[in-house]
Structure formats: structure tokens, C-alpha cells
Amino acid sequence: MRAINALQLRIAYIVISLGVLLGIAGFVRTGALLISAGTGVIALSQWGARSFERYLPLTIAVVLFGLAIALPNGL
């Protein structure tokens, strides 16, 4: 697996921050999707770490993605 560089890691952090801000603003589904995407990228960048530090954040990102897809439309 190809390691991500500092620019890609910074973009992942920006995506997570944008997701949090969108979630606060009321766009919960979009915010959750952005948070799960950014967290997944960061989790995949830790490929050399122990398995717990690698798979727990990746599992949380996948579950958050599934939750965001299952959210109903509208309020």
C-alpha cells in the first residue's frame, strides 16, 4: 500500500474539520460522510502501526459512513 504524504494528510484533516462544521450547521449527513472519509484516509495511513490502532479507526469510519447513508432525508 502506498503511504500518504503530508499534503494528503493535511487535506484529510481539513475534510474532517469541514465535516464537523457542516454537521454543526445542520448538514449532518454530509458532515458524517466527510468525517468518515477523512478518518478512513488517516487510518489507512497508519498501515505500519499495530492492528488495534489501525483497524479501530477504520471500523469507526465504516460504521459512521453506514450511519450517514441510513439517515433519513430532511428533518
Average pLDDT over residues 9-23: 94
CB atoms within 10 A of CB 71: 11
Q: What is the residue type of 57?
A: P
- pTM, full prediction: 0.80
- Cβ neighbours of residue 58 under 8 Å, at least 6 residues apart? 39, 40, 43, 44
Yes or no: say if 58 and 43 are a contact pair by the CB < 8 Å rule.
Answer: yes
Query: Given a cut of 80, is residue 48 above it in pLDDT?
Result: no
- Give the gyration radius of the chain's Cα atoms: 13
Q: How is the chain split into domains, by residue range?
A: 7-70
Res 68: pLDDT: 85
Sign of the dihedral through C-alpha 21, 15, 45, 33: positive
